[in-house]
Structure formats: C-alpha cells, structure tokens
Structure 1
Amino acid sequence: MANERVDKCWLPFLIALLCLNSALEADAISAFERQEKDRVHRLPGQSFDVSFAHYAGYVTVDEEAGRALFYWFFEATEDPASKPLVLWLNGGPGCSSIAYGLAEELGPFHINADGKSLYLNPYSWNQGANILFLDSPVGVGFSYSNNSQDILSNGDKKTAQDSLAFLNKWFKLFPQYKGRDFYITGESYAGHYVPQLAQTIVQSQKLTGGKSINLKGYMVGNALTDDFHDHYGVFHFMWGAGLISDQTYKLLNIFCDFQSFVHTSSHCERILEIADNELGNIDPYSIFTPSCSGSVTMSMNKLLKRRRSAGKLGEKYDPCTEKHSTVYFNLPEVQKALHVNPSFAPSKWETCSEVVSENWKDSERSVLHIYHELISYGLRIWMFSGDTDAVIPVTSTRYNIDALKLPTVTPWHAWYDDGQVGGWTQVYKGLTFVTVRGAGHEVPLHRPKQALTLFKAFISGSPMPTLSVHADS
C-alpha cells in the first residue's frame, strides 16, 4: 500500500518530466528546421568546396515595426563545438559588415575583380572561432524595417538595443551556441558599437540574471573612441607623416578638437576641406598604398564621418575591392542564395548607406567611461591599430589609452611573425594594445596573416608572439 501511494505521488512528476522532454525535443527540432532554412548550400561563383557550414538570413528584432537585421554566420573550419562564438561589426555609421569584414577582410569568401566569382581566404578568422557577421542597424546592407522612419532615427543607443535583441533571438535560432564563450569584435565606428553592446549585455544580465550570452570580452581595431583624443591624434598623425601643412595642423586643432565626428561645425568642415586638398589623391585609410583609379575622391569631412576603406593587400594589391562587392551583392542569384527577402531587398545594395549616416541621431563623444566600467567587470579587452591609417590612426588610440591611466603590466615591445616584426604591443592592467606594422584602417585586409595571429592570441588570452631565440648566422 505504501509503495502504491509513492507511485501515485511520483506519477504527476513523471508525466510532467516526459512532457518537458517532449517540449525540449520539439524546440530542438524546430530550431534545427529553422537553421536548415537559413543554410547556404553554395554561392554563385563558388568553384571550391568548404568543410564548414554557413547560414544567412534575418532575425526580427521588433515585431511591431517589422525591423529585421541580416546576418551571415560561419562555423569554425574544425570542431566548431569546441570553439568560441565571435560577433564582428563594421562601423560607418551605416556600413555593412558583409561588405567589409566578411567580403574583403576576415571572412572565408572574398570576391574576385570580375565581381562574379569568389576565392577562399587562407587567413579567415573562422579558423579560430565561429564567426557571426551582422548588418546593423536597419537600413544597412540587407537589414530592413517596415517602418520607413526607423532608418531615419538610428543612433548609438538604438543600435546597441537592437543588437542585443538580435543576439537573444539568434541564440534561440542556434541554441547549441547558448552559453558558449562569446566575444565581440569590430573596427572603426564599431569602436562605439562594440563597447556599447558589451555594456548593454552586462547591464541587461545584471537586471534579469540571464546567462545565455556568456560574454568574455571584446576587441576593437582603429576604433573611434573619444572625439577629442581621436581628432587630436588624426591631426598629429597627418602632420607628422607630412600630409598636411603647419598652418592647417594649427587650424584643425583650433576648430575641430572638440567636434563630434558625426556632427561637425561649419568652421571645422572648411578646415577639413583644406586638409583634403593638401592630402591629394591618396587613400587616407592606407597612406602608402595606391588608391582605386577612377574613384571620386571623398572629402576629408566625409572620410572622418565614414569609417571604412577600400583596398586589399595579397599577392597583388587591389584597391578596388569595394567595387567588386557592389557588383556581387547586387546579383539576384547571390541574393537568392543568401535568402534575402525579395520584398524587402534594397533596389540597389550599397556598401554604406548615406541615408543612415546623414540621419544619425545620438553619438557619444566618448566611450572611455565604458572601458572603465567593463575593465572593472573583468572582461578581456584588446585594442589594435594598423599604423598606416590616417583616419583613426595609432596616435589617436595611444592618446585614448593614455587617458585611461592604466598601470603597465608588460612594457612596450615588438611582437614577431615568421621572424619579422609584426608590430608592437603593451599590456596594461585590464587592457592589451597591439599595433600591426604596415596595416591600414582595415587590418585584416592589409595584413591578413598578422591579423589572424592577433585574433588567435586574443581569443586564447595569450600574449603576442616574441622572438625567443636570436641565432647568429
């Protein structure tokens, strides 16, 4: 009789457990089916096979407004189940992570000069991690909204909130990555996006107690950080490199030192135009490499607002990769392969959206306070800088780091790649700084091999490699 009563007591629990298991299995099957809908099987112009799976599609971040962000996700080349998840963001504001980070920097697929065929990047970052590229905010790349006002009201705060909403929903779509070590990376105006998103994640999890996003750290390159130090570093670098006159250097420091990079004064804009004329027809994002012939030179004011570049260093330098991307991603067959919704596909896909950048609302003048907050939280934080970039140069980043007043752990020293100096590095308490020798604004584009070494060191928490043995020949 006693055993019968125990069995009866346990019966509801067992039924509930079976129901729960069934629900979990159904959710897993549903997620798998949704993933399969987003799986990219083969791309137009792809003449090679790959060992990794990749997926592309939309995540709706606001059901009422119909606001949806476009992503492209690549599993690691080997054993993705053991690798961390890394989000990459490009800046602008208004520039596509698909156009830059993926198609000409660290992604597995790069585009040939014909704009119709692909080649495999031997230094893709998915050799070390699972890489997620996101076009953010709406109006960028293939990301869209049913509410046209959304594209006219983007800003730093809204971008961070939508990116968090994207991540929370993406982890439901890919539950196997929930709780995985997670890092955020990016460059240029993503110097705002990345720490702001990290801060939003941390603050959200403090309020809700959520653990699905296991944020471990972030890394930014040639990053917009603090308007005063960034401007001062730009002007210092251009003058020191002999790109502008003494008089222009003085006027830039007078009229532009406290200006916002997004909203500048008329006085500052006039001096920037003078600086533009003095620079001549060079690529300020990579001052020692040729610019794309036939391109219209962009004013220095617009250059400072749009944090991107065009160019590729490989066996043969091609400064026109942006043009190749524009051709490729406008092909209907490419958009179909990437599951782009034809009802919301842009009439003309662009690498950067002028509408987004020109209507940008809030832009923090400094994110240094976020660094202090997240350093104290214990995140792994790295900053890197290509040392031939005149748009957000190494001098700007060094002024920003100096303003943080962090104690030094490992002094300034060279790091090495195949026996040659790859750059220099210094480790502070709570932050690591790395320069990449000879790289422009887009470090993985100009120095892909060294950038992969940098990335692997970051995700493993290892120091940059040094030359341990000096052999006499």
Structure 2
Amino acid sequence: MSIFNLFLLIICVAKLHFISCGSSSSSDSPNQQLLDRVSKLPGQNFNVSFAHYAGYVTVNEDSGSCFQYSGPGCSSIAFGLAEEIGPFHVEKDGKNLYLNPYSWNKVANILFLDSPVGVGFSYSNTSSDLLSNGDKRTAAENLEFLLKWFERFPHYKGSDLYLTGESYAGHYVPQLSQAIVRHNHKNGEKIINLKGFMVGNALTDDFHDHLGLFQFMWSVGMISDQTFKKLNVLCDFQSFIHVSENCEKALEIADEEIGDIDMYSIFSPPCTANFNRLNHSLKRKRKVGLLRRAYDPCTEQHTTVYFNLPEVQNAIHVQSKNSPLKWETCSDMVNENWKDSPRSVLDVYRELLHSGLRIWIFSGDTDAVIPVTSTRYSIDALKLPTVSPWRAWYDDGQVGGWTQEYEGLTFVTVRGAGHEVPLHKPKQALTLIKSYLSGNSMPKLELVSDL
C-alpha cells in the first residue's frame, strides 16, 4: 500500500502580483530577477498578465545544494503548479498548456519550491546529500532558501507570508514555520513576516494517522473485519516510513482486498488506457464552449511528458549538467533514504498555537492515504477549546464540506475531494484559500428573501 505521494511545499505571498517557480545562478542579487524571468513557456498559446520566474537558489555552499523554486520525494512543480493551484496546466498531449480558471494566483503570489535536493530539478553537487535527507535538514535548508530568495526579490521583504502544502508537507510546513518563528525570535525582529500556515490531508501523527486510516478503509467497506483487526494490532504506533515486517504483511493483505483503485481518491477512476479512450469519446460529444473540464486521472503522466521536453527545461532555466537526466514527479531515492522523521509534529503545533499564527488544516474526504478520520483524531489530541461548532460550509448554494473552529486552529473538510483537494475540487479549493487569506470563516448558506 502506497502511503506517500505528494510531498508538496507551496509558499504564498499575499496581496502582490504573481510569482511562481527560480535562477540559473547561485547569486542572490536582485539583478538575478532578469535571468530568472520566464517570457513564455513552450505550449503556452496565450498571454498572461502576471510575471513568471524560474531557477535556482543555493541553500548549501559547501555541498553545492541548490533548490529550484517554482517533497520527502515529490515535486511541487509537478503537482502544485501543473495539476492543482498553478495558472498553467498540461494538456493530454503533454506538449501544450491551458489556463487554470481556479488558480490561486488570483488571490496571492505563489512560490513553488522543490525540496529537498533530489526532488524535481533541485540538486546537489555532493551525491551523498541525496542519501541523507531528513526533516531537520529540510527545514533548515528551506529557511535558508527563503532568506536568500528575499535577497533576490527584496521588494517582497516585509510582505505577508503564508505557507501551505499537503501530504508529507504536514511535516515540512509546521517545521518550517517553527524554524521561521525561532529565527525571528533569535534575531529580535521579524526577518520573515510569517502570518500563518495551512496544510491539507497532512501526515501529522503516526498513531492517529494509522488509527484513522484503518478505520476509514473499514468504514467505507474497503477491507474485511479480520484485516481491520490485524492492522490495528500489528501496525499500532508504527511509523509510516519504517513499518515492521508483520505490519507490512497486514498491509499487503489489505492491498489485495482493496483491489485496483486510486487510494488518493477512492471514488475516482484510476488512470488507464480505457479511461483515456472513454474520456476522448465523451469529450467529442460535449457541447462546444464549456469551460469546465472533466476530471482527468492521468494528469501526472501528462506532466511527466511536459517537463522532460528539452525546450521546457530550457525555458525554466534548468541546469541540465546538475539535474537528473530524466525528470520524475517523485524520487524513490529520496523517499527510501529518508533519515529522520518524527512520529508526530503535534508538539510543533503546541508551540506554534501560541505564536499568533493563522493555522488551518483541511482535508479532502475521499482520500484513503491520510483520510479525514486521521486528521480529526490528531486535532482532537490537541484538546483545543471549540470557538465555533461543527457546521456545513457552502459554495454557490451547495455544501462544499464541513468546518469547525478551535482556539488557534480552523479545520475544514472538502466534500468529494481526494488527497489533492485542488485537483478534484478546484472551485471549492479557491473558495478555501480566499477564506483563509482573508481571515474569514468558511461561507455560510446565503438565504434569499422572496420579499
């Protein structure tokens, strides 16, 4: 059973024009902006009104480690930019782009970061770095990246900064937030103006994540009663990264019972050749002029084709001599050689809940990787007083999900969304980020009077 997919870190700078992606030089002079500027991407047959940059920032001079800005294991550019919240999404041919009408750059600047080294086009000149990644080093290097990025783009210094990510970014985002808060405190001033963070379907606490995962799979009828009991006994308190042999065997039985479905969105069709043919047939029958596109489960395949095109790599200033010969959405080497991953980041939440940050957690409720049940158990473990009780929130008169507000934390579910919430429910995800950045509660149902 695959536990990890998206290790995504997205950095949002609110109230400014859009920036995505980084530099072909390690210099952090503002003059590097000119070298980082992307005039037009291959397959972009339309004009846009925002600036776009891509390249590298050196995070470790000694080892020659460079992050591409646009996690363990998967690329923010692959998923965040090209599939979920970015303005450019990849067509089925893997060569052309189309505009995402629900891009988050409508409400904020977005900076996509491929972290750690070995992910996406981020690299190190010291090969052993790829075998020694872990949470602590990633947090430190992400902080170093931000400090240098603000030197390159000094006009953003002091701007409101929000961090957001999903999946393993449930570790990355709180840990980087903690590193920023501590760095500011150490220096006696707000070097980085961090205002808050938000994570989705996030790995948070191994015990609660497992407890909620097995309960979710059993409650929706994916596994048998017997396997449910085995998983709870044999995988109790296990780490998602290093599981015992007995737990692994129980997970294999669960895999057999579940069958060939997309665990990241259990009610969506998996990516198959048959689906592609069926979708093509349906597309021909669709009325011309409709803007809404049908959900495509093969988006990762299209992205892989696109970012392996030499002209695309050249356009986003990839250093081909340092980066992998073949670009992949996720790195098995990084994932399999991860060195440190705490069993819980709830202690980080307990520290940051008193720092004045705006903290939100959201969860797509059809995800069977880090399901909504897991997240609810982790939040409950924080024992926070309730400020606003559980209720439905609405988008265009329809229930978009449910929400509850606690002292220092807001929880939001997105109805019908999987592990990648903006991929499955892009319109509702845009409503989510709008509410978060504005500091408002999720929308209530607006009643229209007949008078």
TM-score normalised by the chain length of structure 1: 0.85
Indicate the residue corresponding to 1:36 in structure 2.
34
1:400 lines up with 2:378 in the alignment: yes
Q: Deviations over 1:30-52 (max 9, x none)?
A: 94421010000000000010000
Counterpart contact for 2:31–2:152, Cα < 8 Å? no
Kindly state the Cα deviation for residue 294 of structure 1 after the two structures are TM-superposed.
Answer: 5.5
Secondary structure of residue in 2 paired with 1:281: coil
Q: Distance in 2 between matches of 1:223 and 1:415?
A: 21
1:318 lines up with 2:296 in the alignment: yes
Indicate the residue corresponding to 1:308 in structure 2.
none
Instruction: Name which of structure 1's ranges 103-112 and 32-41 shifts more when overlaid on structure 2.
Output: 32-41
Equivalent residues in 2 for 1:245-260, closer than 5 Å: 245-260=224-239
The amino acid across from 2:336 in the alignment is E
Q: Out of 342, 362, 382, which is 1:364 matched to?
A: 342
Q: Out of 149, 166, 170, which is 2:128 matched to?
A: 149
Indicate the residue corresponding to 1:199 in structure 2.
178
- RMSD between superposed Cα atoms in Å: 1.5
Q: Deviations over 1:230-255 (max 9, x none)?
A: 00000000000000000000000001
Indicate the residue corresponding to 1:462 in structure 2.
440
Q: Distance in 1 between matches of 2:154 and 2:191?
A: 9
Indicate the residue corresponding to 1:271 in structure 2.
250
Q: Distance in 1 between matches of 2:450 and 2:259?
A: 45
Secondary structure of residue in 1 paired with 2:362: strand
The amino acid across from 1:34 in the alignment is Q
Counterpart contact for 2:393–2:445, Cα < 8 Å? yes
1:328 lines up with 2:306 in the alignment: yes
Q: Out of 362, 384, 391, which is 2:369 matched to?
A: 391
Kindly state the Cα deviation for residue 256 of structure 1 after the two structures are TM-superposed.
Answer: 0.9
Equivalent residues in 2 for 1:163-202, closer than 5 Å: 163-202=142-181
Kindly state the Cα deviation for residue 176 of structure 1 after the two structures are TM-superposed.
Answer: 0.5
Q: Deviations over 1:353-399 (max 9, x none)?
A: 00000000000100011111101111110000000001100000000
Counterpart contact for 1:385–1:436, Cα < 8 Å? yes
Secondary structure of residue in 1 paired with 2:59: strand
Q: Distance in 2 between matches of 1:273 and 1:447?
A: 30
1:438 lines up with 2:438 in the alignment: no
Q: Deviations over 1:200-255 (max 9, x none)?
A: 11111211224231001000000000000000000000000000000000000001
Evaluate the alpha carbon distance shift between residue 231 and residue 314 of structure 1 in structure 2; reply closer, same or farther with a 3 A threshold.
farther
* Runs of 4+ with >4 A deviation: 470-473
Q: Out of 390, 405, 427, which is 1:449 matched to?
A: 427
Secondary structure of residue in 2 paired with 1:346: coil
Kindly state the Cα deviation for residue 139 of structure 1 after the two structures are TM-superposed.
Answer: 0.2
Counterpart contact for 1:423–1:437, Cα < 8 Å? yes
Q: Distance in 1 between matches of 2:29 and 2:131?
A: 33
The amino acid across from 1:143 in the alignment is S
Q: Distance in 2 between matches of 1:138 and 1:208?
A: 27
Larger CA Rg, structure 1 vs 2: 1
Counterpart contact for 2:139–2:176, Cα < 8 Å? yes
Q: Choose between structure 1 and 2: higher helix proportion.
A: 1
Indicate the residue corresponding to 2:49 in structure 1.
51
Counterpart contact for 2:295–2:424, Cα < 8 Å? no
Kindly state the Cα deviation for residue 292 of structure 1 after the two structures are TM-superposed.
Answer: 0.4
Q: Out of 182, 187, 197, which is 1:218 matched to?
A: 197
Q: Distance in 2 between matches of 1:430 and 1:33?
A: 40
Q: Which runs of 5+ in 2 are unaligned?
A: 1-27, 275-290
Q: Distance in 1 between matches of 2:450 and 2:169?
A: 45
Evaluate the alpha carbon distance shift between residue 273 and residue 213 of structure 1 in structure 2; reply closer, same or farther with a 3 A threshold.
same
1:102 lines up with 2:100 in the alignment: no
Counterpart contact for 1:439–1:446, Cα < 8 Å? yes
Q: Distance in 2 between matches of 1:395 and 1:415?
A: 19
Indicate the residue corresponding to 1:373 in structure 2.
351
Q: Distance in 2 between matches of 1:440 and 1:342?
A: 34
Counterpart contact for 1:385–1:435, Cα < 8 Å? yes
Q: Which runs of 5+ in 1 are unaligned?
A: 1-29, 73-90, 296-312
Kindly state the Cα deviation for residue 288 of structure 1 after the two structures are TM-superposed.
Answer: 0.5
Equivalent residues in 2 for 1:91-130, closer than 5 Å: 91=71, 93-130=72-109
Evaluate the alpha carbon distance shift between residue 266 and residue 471 of structure 1 in structure 2; reply closer, same or farther with a 3 A threshold.
farther
Secondary structure of residue in 2 paired with 1:468: coil
Kindly state the Cα deviation for residue 470 of structure 1 after the two structures are TM-superposed.
Answer: 5.8
Counterpart contact for 2:393–2:400, Cα < 8 Å? yes
Secondary structure of residue in 2 paired with 1:376: coil
The amino acid across from 1:187 in the alignment is E
Counterpart contact for 1:223–1:397, Cα < 8 Å? yes
Q: Distance in 2 between matches of 1:64 and 1:136?
A: 18
Q: Distance in 2 between matches of 1:294 and 1:263?
A: 34
The amino acid across from 1:169 in the alignment is K
Kindly state the Cα deviation for residue 192 of structure 1 after the two structures are TM-superposed.
Answer: 0.3
Evaluate the alpha carbon distance shift between residue 58 and residue 41 of structure 1 in structure 2; reply closer, same or farther with a 3 A threshold.
same
Q: Distance in 1 between matches of 2:214 and 2:266?
A: 14
Secondary structure of residue in 1 paired with 2:186: helix
Secondary structure of residue in 2 paired with 1:119: strand
Counterpart contact for 1:411–1:427, Cα < 8 Å? yes
Indicate the residue corresponding to 2:329 in structure 1.
351
Q: Distance in 2 between matches of 1:71 and 1:347?
A: 19
Q: Out of 261, 267, 270, which is 1:288 matched to?
A: 267
Q: Out of 207, 210, 219, which is 1:228 matched to?
A: 207
Kindly state the Cα deviation for residue 457 of structure 1 after the two structures are TM-superposed.
Answer: 0.6
State how many pairs are aligned: 408
Counterpart contact for 1:31–1:175, Cα < 8 Å? no
1:137 lines up with 2:137 in the alignment: no
Evaluate the alpha carbon distance shift between residue 152 and residue 210 of structure 1 in structure 2; reply closer, same or farther with a 3 A threshold.
farther
Secondary structure of residue in 2 paired with 1:187: strand
Counterpart contact for 1:229–1:399, Cα < 8 Å? yes
Secondary structure of residue in 1 paired with 2:400: strand
Secondary structure of residue in 2 paired with 1:377: coil
Evaluate the alpha carbon distance shift between residue 332 and residue 257 of structure 1 in structure 2; reply closer, same or farther with a 3 A threshold.
same
Indicate the residue corresponding to 2:18 in structure 1.
none
TM-score normalised by the chain length of structure 2: 0.89
Indicate the residue corresponding to 1:66 in structure 2.
64
Secondary structure of residue in 1 paired with 2:353: helix
Q: Distance in 2 between matches of 1:435 and 1:189?
A: 18
Q: Distance in 1 between matches of 2:243 and 2:74?
A: 20
Instruction: Name which of structure 1's ranges 202-211 and 396-405 shifts more when overlaid on structure 2.
Output: 202-211
Equivalent residues in 2 for 1:293-304, closer than 5 Å: 293=272
Indicate the residue corresponding to 1:76 in structure 2.
none
Kindly state the Cα deviation for residue 471 of structure 1 after the two structures are TM-superposed.
Answer: 5.3
User: Percent of pairs identical after alignment?
Assistant: 71
Q: Distance in 2 between matches of 1:470 and 1:363?
A: 51
